Structure 1
Amino acid sequence: MTTNTVLPEMDGLKTRLNTIWTAGDYDRFSRYMEGGAREFYERLQIAPGSRLLDVGCGSGQLALLAAKDGVEVTGVDIAANWVERAQARARAEGVNARFKVADAEALPFEAASFDVIVSLIGAMFAPRPDLVAKELLRVCTPGGTIGMANWTAEGFVGQMFKNVAKFIGPSGMPSPVLWGNEATVQERLGQGLSTLNLTRRQYLFSYPFPPAEVVEFFRLYYGPTNRAFASLDAEGQAHLRRDLEALWTAHNQAGADCTTVYGEYLEVIGIRA
C-alpha cells in the first residue's frame, strides 16, 4: 500500500487546513475531553525529566498534564492561535512548557531530540502521513516512546467525520482515520520501532446538555464542524444538523437532558528501534 499521496497545490491545501483548525475555539471545546486525555497520558508512564514533544498540541491539553508532572515539554501545532493559548495557559498555571507553531510533516528539531513523542488526535490530520511517520521516528531517541491516539473509521467519531468531511475534506488527501487502522500504522511506523502495541480504546464524550445542543457546541467551537456548516447554505446547514443530531442521539447513553457517547480510537504505543 502506498500511503503518501502526492497532492497538488500543497501550499493551498496547508492554508485550507490551517483555516479549518484555527476556526472555532478549540480550548473551550477540549475542556470536555480532558478526562480521556489524562487516561491516555497516564498509560504512557512518562518519567519526570523526560523530554516530551506533543505533536498537534492544540491549546495544551496533554502537554500541560505532563509539565505538571515534571516532564520537559515542547508542544507544536499548525494553528498559531492555539499555540498562543497554550502558552497563556502554561503561564497562568505556573508550569514550564514551551509551545511553537510547526508542521508535523517537517518538525523543526534535530534528530533524536526527544525521549517521548505523543500525538493525541493531532498528527493524524496532516495530509501526508508518510512524512509524519518519518518525522515522528526521526526526532525520537533510540529506545524512546512514540504514543498516538487516532480515531478509527468504525467508531463514533469516524462516523461523524463521514458527515462532515464531504464538505471540507480536500480531494486526494488520505483519510485521517487510516491512522486508526492497525495494518496501516504497522506499515507507516513498524520498521522504525522495536515494539509496537496497538489497542482499541473508548474516549468518553460527556456533556451536561442534550444531543441537539452538543451539535451546536461542535458547530461553534470545533474547527472542522464549524467550517462544514459555514460552507453550506441554510437548507444544507439544516440537513447537516439533522444528520448530526440523529447520530448523537442514536449513540447517547445518557438521559434526554445530557449526552454521553463513547468514541473509539486506536492507541499506538511504540518503542523506537
Structure 2
Amino acid sequence: MPADETQTSRWNGPRGRSWVENRALLDDVMRPLETTLVDAVTAAGGRRVLDVGCGTGSTTVAIARQVDECVGVDLAEPMIAAARVRAAEEGSTATFLRADAQEHEFAPGEFDTVVSRFGVMFFPDAVAAFANLRRAVRPGGALRCLVWRGPADNPFMTVTETAAGPLVPNLPVSPPEAPGRFAFAEPGVVHRALDPSWHDVALEPVDVECWMPEPELIGYFTKFGPLGLVYADLDPATRERAVTAVRAAYQPFVDGDRVRWNAACWLISARA
C-alpha cells in the first residue's frame, strides 16, 4: 500500500512549508529529544544509519557527526530540499532521499541502524513498513525510534483540540491508533507492527522537558497541530475566538517568559 494521499499532500503542501519556514523554532523545541535519540544511536554502535521521516534534517545531521554515513528519508519534498540546504551550510556528510520509506526499495542490508524521531507513526500499513525497513538493515542491526506515548501523558499536545474543538467546525483529529502522532501510544500496537519482522522489540518510557519562548506560542498553535491545518480557512471572527480560547488554555504551561512542558515518549528498540 503506498503512502496515504492525505499525508502526502499535507507534508508536500502547507504543513511541510510551515515546518520549513519555522525550522529554527522547531529545531530548538525538539533538540532535547534529538539528543536522546542521538545518544541511543551512538550506544547501538552502527556506522551506517537510515533516519526515517527526517523532516528538515536536524537529527540526520546530528547523527552524521557521530557515524560514517547517515541518510535521511522523507516523503515531503519541501522538507528534503531544506534538509539538503542545511547539510550544505553545515558541511555535513548527511545525504537525503525523497521517498516513501514504507515501499522504497532500499538495498538489502544497506544500513546498520534505522532511527526515527516521530517519523514512523504515519505509515498507512505499519507492518509492511517495518518489514521493508528490516530488509534495509543487516542481520544483527538495530532499530531505535522515538514515538509519542498517549494523550493522557502529553496534556500539552491536546490543549488546542480541547479548547478549539467547540469553536472550530470539523477540527481535524486523528482517531486513536490511526496513522498520526498517537498511533504508537499503546505498546500492543507497536508489537503488532514490529514483531513480524524484528526481534527483541522493547519500549522504554522517556520523559524530556521541552520549552519555547512565550511570544512564540500563538504562532506555534496556529501553524501546527489540528488548528494549523484549518487556520488559514477560518473566518476572522472564528480565528479570534479560537486563538483567545486556546491561548488561555495553555496558561498552566507558561512560566514567565517561557512555555514549558513534558514530552512523554517511548524509545522503541529492536534487533534485526
Same-fold status (TM-score > 0.5): yes
Q: What is the TM-score normalised by the length of structure 2?
A: 0.82
- How far, CA to CA, are the matches of 1:111 and 1:231 in structure 2? 45
Is 1:214 the counterpart of 2:217? The answer is: yes
SS in 2 for 1:14: helix
Which letter does structure 1 place at the counterpart of 2:230?
A
- Alignment-derived partner of residue 268 in structure 2: 268
Is the Cα–Cα contact under 8 Å of residues 20 and 223 in structure 1 kept in the other structure?
A: no
Offset of residue 119 of structure 1: 1.0
- Alignment-derived partner of residue 3 in structure 1: none
Task: Give aligned-pair identity as a percent.
Answer: 22
Q: 1:56 to 1:247 in 2, by over 3 A?
A: farther
Q: 1:141 to 1:17 in 2, by over 3 A?
A: same
The match for 1:174 among 171, 178, 188 is 178
The match for 2:9 among 3, 6, 15 is 15
Between the two structures, name the one with larger relative contact order (CA 8 Å, sep ≥ 6).
Answer: 1
Is the Cα–Cα contact under 8 Å of residues 152 and 179 in structure 1 kept in the other structure?
A: yes
- How far, CA to CA, are the matches of 2:228 and 2:32 in structure 1? 23
SS in 1 for 2:184: helix
Per-residue CA deviations over 1:219-240 (Å, capped at 9, x if unaligned) read 24x4765323224333433343
Is the Cα–Cα contact under 8 Å of residues 121 and 147 in structure 2 kept in the other structure?
A: yes
Offset of residue 161 of structure 1: 7.2
SS in 2 for 1:123: coil
- How far, CA to CA, are the matches of 2:84 and 2:247 in structure 1? 35
Is 1:79 the counterpart of 2:79? The answer is: no
Root-mean-square deviation (Å) = 3.0
Greater shift after overlay, 147-156 or 157-166? Answer: 157-166
Is the Cα–Cα contact under 8 Å of residues 177 and 189 in structure 2 kept in the other structure?
A: no
Q: What is the TM-score normalised by the length of structure 1?
A: 0.82
SS in 2 for 1:230: helix
Segments of structure 2 that go 5 or more residues without pairing to the other structure are none
Offset of residue 23 of structure 1: 3.0
Is 1:185 the counterpart of 2:185? The answer is: no
SS in 1 for 2:124: coil
Per-residue CA deviations over 1:89-110 (Å, capped at 9, x if unaligned) read 1111111111021113212412
Q: 1:249 to 1:170 in 2, by over 3 A?
A: closer
Segments of structure 1 that go 5 or more residues without pairing to the other structure are 1-5
- Alignment-derived partner of residue 245 in structure 1: 247
Is the Cα–Cα contact under 8 Å of residues 136 and 146 in structure 1 kept in the other structure?
A: no
May I ask how many residue pairs the two structures share in their alignment?
261
Per-residue CA deviations over 1:195-216 (Å, capped at 9, x if unaligned) read 1220121233212325xx4132
Offset of residue 85 of structure 1: 1.2
- How far, CA to CA, are the matches of 2:108 and 2:249 in structure 1? 43
- How far, CA to CA, are the matches of 2:116 and 2:85 in structure 1? 21
Offset of residue 52 of structure 1: 0.6
- Alignment-derived partner of residue 197 in structure 1: 202
